[in-house]
Structure 1
Amino acid sequence: MKNYVVLKFGGTSVSSRARWETIASIVRSRIEANETPFVVCSALSGVTNLLERLLVEAPSGTHHETLATIEGRHKEIAAELGVPFELVSNELTELGRLALGASLTNEVSPRLRARALGMGELMSTRLGAAFLESIGVESEWMDARQHLKAVALPNEPDAKHYLSALCDYSADEELAAALKPRVAVVTQGFIATHAHKPGETVLLGRGGSDTSGAYFAHKLGATRLEIWTDVPGMYTANPREVASARLLKQLHYEEAQELASMGAKVLHPRCLAPVREAGIPLHIKCTELPDVEGTVISGDSPDFGAQVKAISSKGGVMLVSMDTLGMWQQVGFLADTFDCFKRHGLSIDLVTTSESNVTVSLDPAANVLDPATSEALLSDLREFCTARMIGPCAAVSLVGHNIRAILHQLGPALEAFGEQRIYLVSQAASDLNLTFVVDEEHANKLVQRLHELLFHDRVSDALLGPTWNALFHPDGDSDRLDDDVWWFSKRSELLELAKDGPAYVYDVSTIQRRAEELQGLGLDRVFYAIKANPNPEVLKTILDFGFGLECVSPGELEHAKAMGASERLFTPNFAPKEEYISGFESATYLTLDNLHPLRHWPEVFAGRDILVRMDPGHGRGHHKKVKTAGAQSKFGIPPEQVEELADLVKRHDINVIGLHSHVGSGITYAATWSETAMFLAGVADRLGSVRILNLGGGLGVPEKLGDKRLDLSEVKETIAAFRQARPEFELWMEPGRYLVAESGVLLGRVTQIKEKEGGRFFVGLDIGMNSLIRPALYGAYHPIVNLSKVDGSPKIVADVVGPICETGDVLGHKRRLPVSEEGDVFLIASAGAYGYVMGSQYNLRKPAIERILR
């Protein structure tokens, strides 16, 4: 009895001689293990995209350059493999004829598209099979269309059958009989033959080569299916976007299906059903790292208990929202509306319902949703309801096992959705996923945030393997010095300063650079929020740019006045009456954020000019404790109290010259400040006397080295657009952390090293939460490097801790570091804001001192 193993190789795995030599090695090893290898291959990497471009250009006759590029790609790989280029001449000739036909008819039919797009796999396998033969691996080329036949589905549009077909994958004795022991078969993924028109090519959808492999595995009754690609398995998130994603060593078919269906790009969603039905294990392996264990998907995966195993994101999702009061307690509404989708050959993915609305999602991988189909669908639906299309959106899913049982543990993670507009929420009855549909532009950042919250502290075990960085970029998880940060070039000076003990060090040139950036935003005034860092040298640097100072206490006002600040903005919060009285004497402007003072002490404000802080109803920011708006926040007057505000200020002759709103800190959404301006302008229209809109601060600072910066040019554009629409207002801003965070580092020395069970390391420093409380208070991330061992390769994963007698005295979790020794100088970056100023003498330990570098 033949022991079949199906090996599927993706585009990157077949695009160079080195990769084909790896394929040859794998095939030989399977033959030596008395297995019969059945090799399924994709087109060369990028060729299918070139073929798509060819078909776009062909109707206008501008395709010749792209055709030449496709020919050149195959000529290059043929030369590299040392096989005759003429092996693919027939396919290239036919491709030219198809393009010419499209240029003559000025259209590309689904039939022509399928035939053209399938050429990539035919050409790559002809060259690959010849190469294997040339180096002594006995092999035979096979046309997949001889054994994969598409299945016709009811009401299936012609386009879908040609471009996203399903196939019969029942046992194929004829195929099995054709295979020879110890001879590798090389065939194509992605293509099959038409259900009713033998010889006509149909496609299995983009990424369909995985499904071809699964079909052949089921047909042969293979012992396993191996998917060889450019990643070594399925991950806790897309590793191309989340470098700290962890390899998932084992998954059940159901979990892998959820991940694939919800956006994980390693596997095509359709490839799991055939192997699951036959109980065939599926192994995901990496051609670049063939010795890495990868992911094994089977029905025998251990029960790891209730937990989230991965976060996935699927873009290009379109929603159809159907509103009507006619569905309430009526029979048949869903049947009638869903029949419209069926008539147009559209497969519904997610569904949510209320008494007057049904919203469904359409998966781009399962549907060909062109404008004509969309309009026809909406037209049919409008017979029953008010229907509209929403998108493009993204479905962000938490995938795992028994998620319902751990919903109460997911509270901190679900807070990441607080800033998003959520269109649809779905929790599977199978208890395998919890899905949120949001605007597509926010999906990547959301996935990164969720992954940090859910997987940052997870240790390696039978489920979780190494990170992507650990496999492909061994230094990537460590916070290493880089030449685009100021402290790289001033290392020697910092090491010298560290000899005097723990210290905050501020770089003046960095503050100046950030101030120049803020000057370019086109604001009327900028006030620096001195609570971020009131160091006198820091304030002098900022005042030199003509900025005012924003203060929140009498002490800060006195400090600002002593520094010579000509404009002082006072923003007290739940302060006693006396602070408002003295504030009018010491400050240039005063901001009120509660009606209590006006109700109970109107005489303090009578005849005065004031600004009023409003609450737009929602906050933004990197942590719940820095979101400063919304019903849970103590800041600001809610919009529903505007009428009372108007009455109070009129009754007591108070002049509201400005409105203010600050929604949070660490914000990276560029339109935040223009949206704040729009909100405030709406309130201003109800008051009538307002000429100033203070948009707050909160400009985000990159959290990790290499993170994308907030695009200030986009912020400027959105502010300019608002100014053009409402030129009557002055626009102010009051940034704090943005000006100073990256200018500051905290220096300390290693005191002790500790290792515990399971290889868990702790590196102790002479600085702790009494010097820098942000990690303990906010869960804030600060890059940490061993400044004494700049060139040392990361060898350990350690928690960096301080000397304070508190479990929370952790400055950084799970940092990849060089082997460190007592006395090494450690640097904690982005510590210039809310560092020294929040320090304490807890445990009666003195916090770090402050130093300046110019």
Structure 2
Amino acid sequence: MSPNRTSGADNSAPSADTFVVLKFGGTSVSTLERWQTVAEILEATLAENKRPFVVCSALSGVSNQLEALAALAPTGDYAELIDQIKARHRALADAMAVDADAALGEYFEEMDRMALGASLTREVSPKLHARIMALGELMSTRLGVAYLQSRGASITWRDARTMLVASDEPHINMHRHYLSAACTCTPDPALRQDLANEPAKIVLTQGFIARDAQDDTVLLGRGGSDTSAAYFAAKLGAERLEIWTDVPGMFTSNPRDIASARLLYELDYDEAQELATMGGKVLHPRCIAPVREQQIPLHIRCTLRPELEGTRISSDTQDFGAQVKSISQKRGVTLISMDTLGMWQQVGFMADAFAVFKSHGFSIDLVATSQTNVTVSLDPMANALEAQSIERLLADLNQVCVARQIGPCAVVSLVGRNIRSILDELGPAFEVFDEQSIYLLSQAASDLNLTVVVDEDQAERLVRNLHAHLFNRRLSDALFGPTWNELFAEEPEEASAFPIWWRTRRAELLALADDAPAYVYSAESLEQSVAAIQSLDAVDRIFYAMKANPHPDILRLFEKAGLGFECVSPGEVERVRELFPKIDAARILYTPNFAPRADYDFGFAQAGYLTLDNLYPLEAWPELFRGREIIVRIDPGRGRGHHKHVRTAGPQSKFGVSPDEIDRLIAAADAVDCTVVGLHTHVGSGIRTPDTWAENALFLASLRAHFPKLRLLNLGGGLGVPEQAGQAPLDVAAVGALLGQVKAVHPDLELWLEPGRFMVAQAGVLLARVTQTKQKGDIQYIGIETGMNSLIRPALYGAHHEILNLTRLNEPAVQTAEVVGPICETGDVLGHARRLPKTVEGDLILINTVGAYGHAMSSNYNLRAPAREIFMQ
């Protein structure tokens, strides 16, 4: 159903009795172009002789800004953030030709007043927090109404808080009352009649907000605009509910992570509920129940592609038999493990324990039991999981058992129908859990899902591998639609922080076909990454982590730009010394890890700085450290990154000194007059959340009282680049702004970074010619002349790299294929289910974003030489 789905239909006044509720998410209301699409959708709904009832979210990203404002307001340092929020709305108003002050002036003033009040009281209560957050939806809808009226639409604005009242829930804390409220979803004849009598044809209101019995503003939880729309649909007895967002429906997995995920044409309410509850990001879990109770069909539609039918959710679905329909993941989950011998053949332990959760206002999700243990999960969408609340919960639980917290965890769920009956078919898929820590396994009594709880950083790889096992052989049919790649093939598969250099140099790359397989590096792209990293004014020193790519020409470019070098072996130090014999030793940072004693002698002699990663060298070889200045790597206790092999902090990582070992560190250093002048931490690789490095800095700065001569904080590297379709690049400016705030608080401490992948990944491509093609059942294979001997990241990490047929770059994608190499290993797959043009022997394939950890990790496995390297000026 598209905006012009009823061209030629009756254009008489809309029926007062037939409402269609349309919810538009943040990306759907953030630009003039999207609002133009909204206007067309509403016109098409009116042409059906229906009454549109419109529910809108805040502009994309604004809720996050308001969340930050609520956190920052008590400090008084909020003026810049408020200016940014206002500027964002003024820019949209200008594009719409709407008077921003007339539409938004009262909300701008209210924002100023609330922030000032919080700065005076030094706190933001849950009640005030809700009022601050509500501004996002209030401002977006005021702009929307003003714009649509300017186009001649018959539309009126309503405050959602006059129509939605939160239910009175006992035993919930104030955070949940104000920030995660729920409303009733029974039909409301009075509201229906009121709106039916409304002269305007269209009513527009806000998602996410409601009021309580005291007329205070409350929120329906993050993502609660979907729920608002479902409440309104139920209250109005709507003909249907349409959720308009930036994806065209539910998929076999999150298409932003797995581009080969397939669109699901239809689901019943129970299946959709399971997907939403178990981590599907398209719908809020609470939005299903209201429409299910009233048997209102729910359609998921895409404002970017309004002509697509999307996913229809209803009770009237086809019976497709027993099968898995989707794989989801949910992060940020906390487990509470309760051990006691008192539950063995005793009555009442579960009741006593669960009563404690109830008294603290916690909603339990998953439950697993044994003879002496009960483990439950707490869903972050249903609970406010502040550290203090968890501590109070554990304190009371420890009165009846031994309770402990486990996390952060992720829930990975296989969702479908009659899963128990096909467990034998799923056996091979479960091999992906080999050597993983599984904390909880749950098979739903409804037989709609099979769920495991694992370490949070393992979830993405597990979902990717499970999806490959279960869906890569699927073709389009009545249930499974096209893949994300097939739907959006015209869009670049990979976002980029910098321009895609190789597109403008295609002819030169094609001329290198006879030199393939080859890594090709772009000097221009490298210079762009240098400029980006040097834009961080708060950072005093930058050391390139040369393990990412030690190619001599890359090192020469970075040395000329003034970067230092972070080395992890004598060989890396020697390469720097050979290339730059006159380099100042202060530009060499040496970080050995579980290295022999001789490496430390070498490091002190050849490098300007040495980082101690473990207490053993200092305690076992104290004479090496006598009178030395050192940097110490501290483990913050939690790692980040896309795979466990790149997670470099936490108890399962070999790196760093634990904070509880600091007293031992100080004693051992004092004994040999060794001075700790710097602290270092590095939590992982491939990170695109800009707060990571400021968090690292604040963590290290919190330890400075132990080290009176501390003068520098090395915040590590791990700055990520996009690997998946739709992934946003790291916001370097945001990183800089956050580090600037740290610097303002600790102006006497130098801040260092040691980026690796960020500097070189996008500068490199791998070229390889097609050797063979093969059809095996439903699977198409494309073989190329090199494989995991040149690029092991897909096999080792499950890493994703964009793969294109450079010879036929502008031809349409007509096939989905496995791209494989010549290595005698099943894992020699460079890309699963890739959309490519008709590809034949001799075509030149380009694998993108391989400048980091590509050639550096290559080998001569099978005695096949890896790809050569070419540096392109």
TM-score by length of 1: 0.66
The structure-2 alpha-carbon separation of the partners of 1:315 and 1:835, relative to structure 1 and needing over 3 Å to count, comes to closer
Please point out which of 6, 13, 22 is paired with 2:37: 22
Q: Deviations over 1:131-168 (max 9, x none)?
A: 21221110111111222111111222233221111112
Deviation at 1:307, TM superposition (A): 2.1
Q: Does 1:66 align with 2:81?
A: yes
Q: Does 1:234 align with 2:250?
A: yes
Counterpart of 2:450 in structure 1 is 434
In 2, distance between residues paired with 1:52 and 1:812? 38
CA contact (8 A) 1:381 1:387 kept: yes
Counterpart of 1:398 in structure 2 is 414
Q: Deviations over 1:221-254 (max 9, x none)?
A: 1111001112211222222222332222211111
The structure-2 alpha-carbon separation of the partners of 1:818 and 1:302, relative to structure 1 and needing over 3 Å to count, comes to same
Please point out which of 58, 61, 64 is paired with 1:46: 61
Secondary structure at the counterpart of residue 23 of structure 2: strand
Q: Does 1:297 align with 2:297?
A: no
Q: In the TM superposition, what are the counterparts of 1:322-471 in structure 2 within 5 Å?
A: 322-471=338-487
Deviation at 1:184, TM superposition (A): 0.4
Deviation at 1:68, TM superposition (A): 2.8
Deviation at 1:677, TM superposition (A): 10
Counterpart of 2:127 in structure 1 is 111
Q: Deviations over 1:255-292 (max 9, x none)?
A: 11111111122111100000011111111111121112
In 1, distance between residues paired with 2:260 and 2:98? 41
In 1, distance between residues paired with 2:62 and 2:224? 15
In 1, distance between residues paired with 2:103 and 2:802? 54
The structure-2 alpha-carbon separation of the partners of 1:408 and 1:91, relative to structure 1 and needing over 3 Å to count, comes to same
Q: Does 1:273 align with 2:319?
A: no
CA contact (8 A) 1:321 1:358 kept: yes
The structure-2 alpha-carbon separation of the partners of 1:460 and 1:271, relative to structure 1 and needing over 3 Å to count, comes to same
Which structure is larger by alpha-carbon Rg, 1 or 2?
1
Paired letter, 2:463 = V
Please point out which of 309, 314, 322 is paired with 1:306: 322
Q: RMSD over aligned Cα, in angstroms? A: 4.8
Deviation at 1:853, TM superposition (A): 8.7
CA contact (8 A) 2:29 2:35 kept: yes
CA contact (8 A) 2:494 2:723 kept: no
Paired letter, 1:105 = T
CA contact (8 A) 1:744 1:833 kept: no
Gaps of at least 5 residues in structure 1 are: 499-503, 527-540, 546-664, 679-698, 709-741, 840-846
Please point out which of 784, 788, 808 is paired with 1:789: 808
The structure-2 alpha-carbon separation of the partners of 1:354 and 1:64, relative to structure 1 and needing over 3 Å to count, comes to same
CA contact (8 A) 1:479 1:785 kept: no
Q: Deviations over 1:424-466 (max 9, x none)?
A: 1211111121222222222223322322332222212222222
In 2, distance between residues paired with 1:371 and 1:456? 41
CA contact (8 A) 1:788 1:824 kept: yes
Secondary structure at the counterpart of residue 86 of structure 1: helix
Deviation at 1:392, TM superposition (A): 1.8
Deviation at 1:58, TM superposition (A): 2.3
CA contact (8 A) 2:774 2:782 kept: yes
Counterpart of 2:624 in structure 1 is none
Q: In the TM superposition, what are the counterparts of 1:826-845 in structure 2 within 5 Å?
A: 838=862
Counterpart of 1:183 in structure 2 is 201
Secondary structure at the counterpart of residue 325 of structure 2: strand
Deviation at 1:409, TM superposition (A): 2.4
CA contact (8 A) 2:130 2:178 kept: yes
Secondary structure at the counterpart of residue 438 of structure 2: coil
Deviation at 1:33, TM superposition (A): 0.4
The structure-2 alpha-carbon separation of the partners of 1:477 and 1:64, relative to structure 1 and needing over 3 Å to count, comes to closer
In 2, distance between residues paired with 1:203 and 1:494? 58
The structure-2 alpha-carbon separation of the partners of 1:672 and 1:792, relative to structure 1 and needing over 3 Å to count, comes to farther
Q: In the TM superposition, what are the counterparts of 1:529-568 in structure 2 within 5 Å?
A: none
In 2, distance between residues paired with 1:666 and 1:263? 21
Deviation at 1:96, TM superposition (A): 2.5
In 2, distance between residues paired with 1:65 and 1:748? 54
The structure-2 alpha-carbon separation of the partners of 1:525 and 1:328, relative to structure 1 and needing over 3 Å to count, comes to farther
Deviation at 1:60, TM superposition (A): 2.8
Q: In the TM superposition, what are the counterparts of 1:706-717 in structure 2 within 5 Å?
A: 707=723
The structure-2 alpha-carbon separation of the partners of 1:507 and 1:768, relative to structure 1 and needing over 3 Å to count, comes to closer
Paired letter, 2:379 = D
Counterpart of 1:192 in structure 2 is 210
Q: Deviations over 1:738-771 (max 9, x none)?
A: xxxx999764556x898x999x877799x899x9
Please point out which of 72, 75, 78 is paired with 2:93: 78
Paired letter, 1:48 = S
In 2, distance between residues paired with 1:343 and 1:849? 62
Q: Single out whichever of 785-794 and 42-51 deviates more from structure 2.
A: 785-794
Counterpart of 1:169 in structure 2 is 185
The structure-2 alpha-carbon separation of the partners of 1:324 and 1:816, relative to structure 1 and needing over 3 Å to count, comes to same
CA contact (8 A) 2:513 2:768 kept: no
Deviation at 1:362, TM superposition (A): 0.6
The structure-2 alpha-carbon separation of the partners of 1:151 and 1:848, relative to structure 1 and needing over 3 Å to count, comes to closer
Gaps of at least 5 residues in structure 2 are: 1-15, 523-545, 556-564, 580-642, 657-683, 687-720, 725-763
CA contact (8 A) 1:424 1:436 kept: yes
In 1, distance between residues paired with 2:86 and 2:868? 63
Counterpart of 1:8 in structure 2 is 23
Q: Deviations over 1:198-236 (max 9, x none)?
A: x32111111111101000000111111001112211222
Secondary structure at the counterpart of residue 459 of structure 1: coil
Counterpart of 2:269 in structure 1 is 253
Secondary structure at the counterpart of residue 423 of structure 1: strand
Deviation at 1:348, TM superposition (A): 0.4
Deviation at 1:816, TM superposition (A): 2.4
In 2, distance between residues paired with 1:478 and 1:55? 34
Q: In the TM superposition, what are the counterparts of 1:447-846 in structure 2 within 5 Å?
A: 447-474=463-490, 491=509, 494-496=512-514, 522-523=568-569, 668=646, 707=723, 747-748=769-770, 786=805, 788-798=807-817, 814-820=833-839, 824=843, 838=862
Paired-residue identity, %: 51
CA contact (8 A) 2:781 2:817 kept: yes
Secondary structure at the counterpart of residue 179 of structure 1: helix
Q: Deviations over 1:34-92 (max 9, x none)?
A: 11100011122222222222222222322233233333333222222223331222233
CA contact (8 A) 2:69 2:81 kept: yes
The structure-2 alpha-carbon separation of the partners of 1:422 and 1:797, relative to structure 1 and needing over 3 Å to count, comes to closer
Q: Single out whichever of 6-15 and 811-820 deviates more from structure 2.
A: 811-820
Counterpart of 2:167 in structure 1 is 151
Q: How many residue pairs are counted as aligned between the two chains?
A: 648
Q: Deviations over 1:116-138 (max 9, x none)?
A: 22122122212211221221110
CA contact (8 A) 1:413 1:454 kept: yes
The structure-2 alpha-carbon separation of the partners of 1:377 and 1:269, relative to structure 1 and needing over 3 Å to count, comes to same
Counterpart of 2:147 in structure 1 is 131
Secondary structure at the counterpart of residue 476 of structure 2: coil
Deviation at 1:411, TM superposition (A): 2.8
Deviation at 1:808, TM superposition (A): 13
